[in-house]
Amino acid sequence: MSREQPTETVLRADAMLTPEGPVANAELAFDARGRISYAGKARPGVSASHELTGHVLMPGLVNGHTHSAMTLLRGVSDDEGFMPWLAAVQALEQHLGHEDVVAGLELALVEMIETGTTAFADMYHWDETLIERVRASGMRALVAPASFAPETVGFPGVSPWTGADATAETERLAERFRGDPQIRVAYGPHAPYTCPPEFLRELAARAVERGIPIHTHVSESAAEVEQIRERYGATPGEHLDALGLFAAEVLAAHCVHLTPGEISLFARTGTAVSHNPVSNLKLGCGIAPLPEWQRAGLRVSLGTDSVASNNSLDLFEEIKTATILHRGARQDAAIVRAADVLDIATRGGAAAIGFAETGALEVGRLADVIALDVTGSAATPFDPAALVSHLGFAARGADVRHVFIGGRHVYADGAHLTLDAAAIRERAAAAAARLRAQAAA
């Protein structure tokens, strides 16, 4: 008796971005398990499940570093430098409750999905309730419960957890969600300037022993680098290396001020980095050396950071900024290519945060795919052969009309299918207003 084959979903669009380059008159098919079974030219005689004329297909975007719940702090301290900004944000965070974190996270999920992000790496307060919100949305996430020191309570209004408690909870969550296709769990020591060396050394050993990754901030600002040099007589990367951190799987956010020696260290140890150009520019932190990272072969992702330091979770803004920023700074229009940045924002980011089966539209991978409208003024005239140019320099998150994650349709023609977006926006706005009133009292 023959076994029934899984039913295919077939998307047909004007063009599609594949690892081999753009395909015009494109077709993407995936089976009931969400695995891509065909990616190429439209096949004669094959019926489309979704006839997306006027659209293009590309892999879902991957946000390599953010703090989702901080959507409630959008617009806080917009014209301050890094350290004053951080103080203003932390003052507001002291008024957060658990329901505020839920509201902020859900608002971020809404914004990320509707701008084409399908997976993200996050450091903040994380517990099982919050993780289940991500799973229900359909998104993928590398979640890192933030910690500062063994005895320090990170978010007193949200949870009584100390750093030691967050470590124990990280390990419990990592075991609980081991093998989950949507969720990975990481330790989240905030940064070398907020975490004592003995705590970082312990986490490094535990990470190696248990196979749990680490997500942390490294060399975000010049002030941080100077502070670490004064305390420990080393750069942040050298300091963390001496503590054994890079023996583990590490995702290092920002890395604006890495030295050539640190870049070599990160390349040698396979340490992944997250480039967050808009946040780094807005806070006056500087410009990360992306061309040097690329030449050294670093594993690179693209991130927004939180909306408190960016104001948007639209990765298309990061893609364009990351491409043109380095061209202008180095006075070399060929130093960073749009195709490379698009790869960082998709395949590279997916690999960096641990979802290597996603990130590209090719047979065998999971179908994390987004469809963008190309009928608007900014896409006219549209040439399928120039798809990379359009996606790198003209596309916006607002152009996203459909999102599939693992073959699951989560956003259809501008409507959320897994989230009540209107109710989430209303709850988040009310929570943010209450936080600011409390902070002002």
Dist CA 236 CA 403 (whole Å): 39
pLDDT of residue 95: 83
CA dist., res. 3 & res. 5, Å (int) = 6
DSSP 8-state symbol, 329:
H
The DSSP string of 94-136 is TT--HHHHHHHHHHHHHHHHHTTEEEEEEEE---HHHHHHHHH
Q: Which pLDDT score is estimated for 1? A: 36
Q: For 274-299, write each residue's pLDDT tens digit.
A: 999 999 999 999 999 999 999 999 99
Average pLDDT value for residue range 397-414: 98
Q: What percent of the chain has pLDDT over 90?
A: 92
How far is CA 238 from each of CA 15, 219, 235, 244, 260, rounded to the nearest angstrom? 46, 11, 5, 10, 12
Let me know: does 298 contact 290? Beta carbons within 8 Å. Answer: no
Can you tell me the mean pLDDT for 304-332? 96
pLDDT mean over 107-129: 98
What percent of the chain stands above pLDDT 70? 99
CA dihedral 291, 295, 300, 305 (to 10 degrees): -20
Helical packing angle, 82-93 and 222-232, nearest 10°: 90
139 Cβ neighbours under 8 A, 6+ residues apart? 109, 112, 113, 117, 118, 119, 120, 182, 405, 410
Q: What is the DSSP letter of 2?
A: P
Is residue 441 scored above 90 in pLDDT?
no
Instruction: Tell whether the model's pLDDT for residue 255 goes beyond 80.
Output: yes
- Are the C-beta atoms of 402 and 51 separated by less than 8 Å? no
Q: What angle do CA 181, 108, 419 make, to 5 degrees?
A: 70
Q: Residue 2: what pLDDT? A: 41
Tens of pLDDT along 221-245?
Answer: 999 999 999 999 999 999 999 999 9
What pLDDT shows up at residue 93? 82
* Torsion angles phi and psi, residue 373, rounded to 5: -75, 130
What average pLDDT does the segment 318-322 reach?
A: 98
Q: Which residues pair with 272 in a beta bridge?
A: 251, 299
pLDDT tens digits, one per residue of 171-189 = 999 999 999 999 999 999 9
On the CB side of 267, CA atoms within 13 Å amount to 15
Residue found under tokens 């997250």: 274
Run of H or E including 301: strand 299-302
If you average pLDDT over every residue of the chain, what do you get?
96
Q: How many CA atoms lie within 13 A of 206 on its CB side?
A: 18
Quote the pLDDT of residue 91. 80
Is the pLDDT assigned to residue 405 strictly greater than 90?
A: yes
Mean pLDDT in residue range 66-85:
88
Q: What's the rounded mean pLDDT across residues 296-318?
A: 97
Please give the residue that has the higher pLDDT: either 365 or 87: 365
H or E segment to which residue 87 belongs: helix 82-93
The 3 state secondary structure assigned to 36-83 is EEEEEECCCCCCCCEEEEEEEEEECEEEEEECHHHHHHCCCCCCCCHH
Please report the pLDDT score of residue 432 as a whole number: 92
